[in-house]
């Protein structure tokens, strides 16, 4: 007998039965013996057998009760129980299986049958354990691969955002801040995590269409010619075309397409009204405007976050969704939004020469203030 052999606990108040079972199984297993239910439970406090051969009719605690106690304890749920009893009525057999036993042998038993059944359940238990181990390994591998893919996905999105922003140092970080503001607003509105993630990704990529806008237009001081302004206004559609190729699990391309729409229909490129615009795009629009107003641009100075809020508040319900505007105020307080640091190679003569533009949320050339 070696320590690696499976351990069987025999519980029976009849010593003759115990001896019989020991005799039948002695070559392949180690044994524990208990002469009643209470002693079986006491044995289990310090030992964990692989299988229990359990008599039913015993004084004080019967076999059904022992089995029920065992199956209610998480530590012992995987210990297999086979009832060996003189109770041959179908209702007892059913009760035995309902209590959690894997088998039910009636007395008087045949040696070969007991041996075969014990072997079968030991093999099944081994296979179950191997399967559980394999499942744990697979779960770990899936977890690691998912984390790797998530990391790669985040890096790819970050890289795409950087690609758009690197053409215009003045707007460096704009998309990241918009993503952060928009996520904070969405959280404040109590949106589900999945929708918040869609908003975050859309924020990071919302101006990717500016990859096709000439750099000279992005940061040139002063007003733009009508044709130049029309060129800038193509960036949501360009972004849509780029992003619709990517099988995101969210409508990222559509959200980006809509981020300059306004609820009164005065936005671009399609002049969508009210609920024709996705909630995600309405959130992005408010975050975009607040960030743009509170950031420095070569064609106009930065204003404070408070001024940015005053601007969106003054257009609440007209250009911007009321709930989104209200949530942005709470989100900014809860998350301590601050005016971002000035970015880009700011030249004094450029900003001084440029005629300071007034901030306006309407979709005219003046709204260039909000472009970024």
Q: Least CB distance from residue 354 to Fe ion, whole Å?
A: 21
- Which window, 38-46, 88-96, 175-183, 204-212, contacts Fe ion (CB under 5 A)? 204-212
Other C-beta atoms lying within 10 Å of the C-beta of residue 107: 15
- Which window, 38-46, 89-97, 128-136, 206-214, contacts Fe ion (CB under 5 A)? 206-214
Tell me if 207 contacts Fe ion by CB under 5 A.
yes
- Which window, 56-64, 94-102, 144-152, 207-215, contacts Fe ion (CB under 5 A)? 207-215
Q: Which residue is nearest to Fe ion (CB)?
A: 207
As a whole number of angstroms, the distance between CA 356 and CA 351 comes to 8
HEC profile of 197-227? HHHHHHHHHCCHHHHHCCHHHHCCCCCCCHH
Rg of the chain, C-alpha, whole Å? 36
Q: Least CB distance from residue 254 to Fe ion, whole Å?
A: 15
80-85 and 103-106 as β-strands: parallel, antiparallel, unpaired? parallel
Helix (H) or strand (E) holding 84: strand 80-85
As a whole number of angstroms, the distance between CA 205 and CA 348 comes to 30
Identity of the residue, 121 or 368, whose beta carbon is nearer to Fe ion in the bound complex: 368
Q: Least CB distance from residue 205 to Fe ion, whole Å?
A: 11
x-marked contacts with Fe ion along 309-328 as a string, rule CB under 5 A: --------------------
Burial class from Cβ neighbours inside 10 Å (0-12, 13-18, 19+) for residue 335 reads middle
x-marked contacts with Fe ion along 149-188 as a string, rule CB under 5 A: ----------------------------------------
Tell me if 50 contacts Fe ion by CB under 5 A.
no
Identity of the residue, 121 or 260, whose beta carbon is nearer to Fe ion in the bound complex: 260
How far are the Cα atoms of 126, 129, 147, 149, 320 from residue 140, in angstroms, in the given order? Answer: 21, 17, 11, 14, 45
- Which window, 48-56, 86-94, 166-174, 200-208, contacts Fe ion (CB under 5 A)? 200-208
Q: Least CB distance from residue 291 to Fe ion, whole Å?
A: 11
Q: Least CB distance from residue 164 to Fe ion, whole Å?
A: 10
Q: Least CB distance from residue 210 to Fe ion, whole Å?
A: 7
Are 299 and 344 a contacting pair, CB within 8 Å?
no
As a whole number of angstroms, the distance between CA 174 and CA 371 comes to 10
Identity of the residue, 17 or 183, whose beta carbon is nearer to Fe ion in the bound complex: 183
Identity of the residue, 207 or 291, whose beta carbon is nearer to Fe ion in the bound complex: 207
Q: Least CB distance from residue 209 to Fe ion, whole Å?
A: 8
Q: Least CB distance from residue 259 to Fe ion, whole Å?
A: 6
> In degrees rounded to 5, what are phi and psi of residue 190?
75, 25
Are 126 and 36 a contacting pair, CB within 8 Å?
no
Size of residue set near Fe ion by CB under 5 A: 1
As a whole number of angstroms, the distance between CA 321 and CA 262 comes to 9
Identity of the residue, 117 or 260, whose beta carbon is nearer to Fe ion in the bound complex: 260
Site of tokens 């949501």: 236
- Which window, 123-131, 138-146, 201-209, 344-352, contacts Fe ion (CB under 5 A)? 201-209
Residues in contact with Fe ion by the rule CB under 5 A: 207
């Amino acid at each position: 007998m070696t320590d690696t052999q499976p351990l069987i606990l025999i519980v029976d108040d009849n010593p003759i039965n115990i001896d019989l079972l020991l005799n039948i199984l002695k070559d392949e297993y180690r044994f524990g013996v208990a002469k009643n239910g209470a002693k079986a439970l006491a044995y289990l406090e310090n030992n964990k057998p692989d299988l229990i051969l359990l008599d039913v009719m015993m004084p004080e605690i019967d076999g059904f009760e022992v089995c029920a106690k065992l199956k209610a304890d998480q530590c012992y749920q995987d210990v297999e129980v086979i009832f060996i009893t003189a109770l041959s009525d179908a209702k007892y057999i059913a009760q035995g299986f309902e209590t959690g036993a894997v088998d039910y042998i009636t007395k008087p038993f045949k040696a070969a049958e007991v041996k075969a059944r014990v072997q079968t359940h030991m093999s099944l238990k081994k296979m179950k354990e191997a399967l559980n181990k394999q499942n744990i390994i697979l779960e770990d591998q899936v977890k690691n691969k998912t984390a790797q893919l998530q990391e790669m996905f985040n890096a790819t999105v970050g890289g795409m955002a950087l690609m758009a922003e690197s053409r215009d140092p003045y707007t460096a970080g704009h998309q990241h801040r918009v993503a952060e503001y928009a996520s904070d607003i969405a959280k404040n509105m109590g949106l589900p995590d999945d929708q918040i993630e869609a908003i975050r990704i859309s924020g990071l990529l919302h101006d990717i269409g500016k990859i096709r806008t000439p750099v000279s237009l992005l940061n040139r001081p002063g007003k733009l010619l009508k044709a130049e302004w029309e060129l800038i206004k193509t960036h949501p559609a360009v972004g849509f075309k780029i992003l619709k190729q990517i099988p995101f699990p969210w409508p990222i391309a559509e959200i980006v397409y809509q981020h300059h729409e306004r609820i009164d229909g005065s936005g671009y490129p399609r002049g969508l009204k009210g609920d024709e615009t996705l909630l995600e795009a309405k959130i992005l629009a408010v975050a975009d405007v607040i960030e743009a107003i509170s950031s420095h641009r070569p064609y106009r100075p930065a204003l404070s976050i408070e001024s940015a809020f005053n601007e969106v508040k003054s257009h609440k319900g007209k250009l911007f969704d009321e709930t989104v505007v209200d949530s942005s105020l709470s989100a900014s307080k809860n998350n301590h939004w601050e005016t971002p640091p000035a970015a880009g190679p700011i030249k004094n003569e450029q900003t001084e020469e440029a005629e300071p533009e007034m901030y306006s949320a309407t979709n005219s050339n003046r709204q260039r203030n909000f472009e970024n």
